[in-house]
Amino acid sequence: MKWIGLTGGIATGKSTVARLVESLGASVIDADKISHQLTRIGQSGYKQVVSYFGTSILNDSQEIDRKVLAQIIFSDVQKKNNLEKILHPLIQDEVLRLKIEYKNNQARFCFYDVPLLFEKKMENNFDSVVTVWCDEKTQISRLRTRNNLTVPEALARIETQIPLADKILKSQYCIDNSGPEESLIQIVSNWFENL
Quick one: which of 25, 59, 123 has its CA closest to 46? 59
pLDDT value at residue 74:
86
Strand partners, 175: 132
* The model's pTM: 0.88
Instruction: Find how far residue 38's CA is from the centre of its chain.
Output: 15
Q: Judge whether residue 45 has pLDDT over 90.
A: yes
Which of 29, 34, 192 lies closest to 99, judged by CA? 29
Rounded to 5 degrees, φ, ψ at 27 are -90, 145
Whether the per-residue pLDDT at 34 is higher than 90: the answer is yes
E strand or H helix that includes residue 175: strand 173-176
pLDDT digits (tens, 9 = 90+) for 12-33: 999 999 999 999 999 999 999 9
Identity of residue 170: K
Decide: helix, strand or coil at residue 119. Answer: coil
pLDDT digits (tens, 9 = 90+) for 64-100: 999 999 999 988 989 999 999 999 999 999 999 999 9
Q: What number is the average pLDDT over the span 151-169?
A: 93
Average pLDDT, the chain: 95
CB count in 10 Å sphere of residue 120: 14
Is there a contact between 116 and 33 (Cβ–Cβ < 8 Å)?
A: no
